[in-house]
Amino acid sequence: MEALPEPVREKAIEIANALLEEGMDDGRAIRIAIAKAKEWAARRTLEID
């Protein structure tokens, strides 16, 4: 997640924490959170790379 811009990283952490609270395993939660945070950024035309 370190390579993500700050707003995207914060959103990914928020999503990952929610997934972890639901009982998802760490690796899967992180992968899904990063993908969803990038989608979130794209919808808001934020730079993700």
Of 12-16, 17-21, 31-35, 45-49, which gets the smallest average pLDDT? Answer: 45-49
- How far apart CA 49 and CA 29 sit, in angstroms, is 21
Helix/strand/coil percent split, the chain, to 5: 70, 0, 30
**pLDDT tier for residue 49 given thresholds of 50, 70 and 90:** low
- This prediction has a pTM of 0.87
**Residue 45's pLDDT is what?**
79
**Residue 24's pLDDT is what?**
98
Read off the pLDDT of residues 2-29 as tens digits, 9 standing for 90 and up. Answer: 899 999 999 999 999 999 999 999 999 9
> What is the per-residue burial (b if ≥16 Cβ within 10 Å, else e) of 12-28?
bbebbeebeeeeeeeee
34 or 44, which is more confident = 34
